[in-house]
Copies of this chain bind each other. A is one copy, B any other.
């Protein structure tokens, strides 16, 4: 048995189990680090046989094992969590081995193990919700590099004649997250994204920006699949529009059937649904215990 925490900016989801078949979860709001971690520790204390805990966390995170601040949340707008030693504090509180990665790298790992990316060695998982994040596996391993991917902060063409909205990213204004996250949709159209009807022009523009981001990710990484999760991606029509626009943008340059006749199986929702995140945390814990 393993423990996992999908740590989001508004919600913590804790789980114990070893796979999608034997999952027990509990969730509660993200408040102060001390209070939130105490609630998680209380949940885990009910399970005596846990071998390790995996954290799939919001970030940015310091994931450099050689760094003094390894496992810390760093540059987050949530000030109580900024420069907080998340992995260290969970380890001290639970007295269990703890591993940490980004929420999206965790989700990618879960989809590789049990979901839409089984058998693939290079793919991305992108979430579109309160923010936009991306992670994935390349050459069979989770993406790290210098720090970890920050795919939400891609710069894409933004025609201010067509779309006067300036973007909401506090760092970059009109980066992908600034133009196409849930809060960007809300601010541009003056209402919550889930209240915008399918025929509203919001969705064509949304598909346009996401397709631009995906085209850039395809050109950079050549993923074998692109998985799109998160609250904003709950509409099937959005997938249809994005697939078409990615094909138009690539314009036949990348000659792979996956991007032509196979596009419906190339840009897909997560197979694990809303359990992808917490299963990612569990997959991280499993990998730590069995490494």
Query: Which residues of B have CB within 8 Å of A122?
Result: 143-146
A interface, size bucket: 35 or more
Report chain B residues within 8 Å CB of A24. none
Given contacts A155-B212, A158-B157, A145 and B219 within 8 Å (CB-CB): no
> Which of these binds chain B: A7-15, A41-49, A132-140?
A132-140
Give the chain B neighbours of A259 by CB distance below 8 A. 146
Contact residues, A244-270 vs B (CB, 8 A): 249-256, 258-259
Chain B residues lying within 8 Å of A256, measured Cβ to Cβ, are 146-147
- What are the residues of chain B within 8 A of A139 when measuring CB–CB? 138-141, 143-144
Task: Answer yes or no: A241 CB below 8 A from chain B CBs.
Answer: no
Instruction: Please name all residues of chain B whose beta carbon is closer than 8 Å to the beta carbon of A220 when the two chains form the complex.
Output: 134, 149, 151, 154, 216-217, 220-221
Q: How far is it, in angstroms, between the C-alpha of A215 and the C-alpha of B156 when the chains are bound?
A: 11
The reply on A26 being an interface residue by CB < 8 A is no
Distance from A156 Cβ to chain B, minimum over Cβ atoms (Å): 6
A242: min CB distance to chain B, Å = 15
Q: Which of B150, B158, B254 contacts A253 (CB 8 A)?
A: B150
Count identical subunits in the complex: 2
CB distance from A127 to the nearest CB of B (A): 15
Verify if A31 is at the interface (C-beta below 8 Å from B): no
Give Cα A149–Cα B223 distance, bound, in whole angstroms: 9
A172 touches B223 (CB 8 A): no
Could you say which residues of chain B place their CB within 8 Å of the CB of A146? 122, 218, 222-224, 254, 256, 258-259
Q: How far is the CB of A163 from chain B (nearest CB, A)?
A: 13
> Which of B140, B145, B222 sits near A222, CB closer than 8 Å?
B145
Q: Chain B's nearest CB lies how many Å from the CB of A175?
A: 8
Q: Determine the distance from Cα of A223 to Cα of B223 in the docked complex, in whole angstroms.
A: 16
Judge whether B143 and A222 touch: CB under 8 Å: yes
Let me know if A198 is at the binding interface, CB within 8 A: no
Q: Jot down 16 A-B pairs with beta carbons below 8 A, ordered by A.
A: A121-B145, A122-B144, A145-B223, A146-B218, A146-B222, A146-B223, A150-B219, A150-B222, A150-B254, A153-B250, A157-B158, A171-B252, A216-B216, A216-B220, A220-B221, A221-B221
- List residues of chain A with CB under 8 Å of any chain B CB: 60, 74-75, 121-123, 134, 138-141, 143-158, 171-172, 212, 215-224, 249-256, 258-259
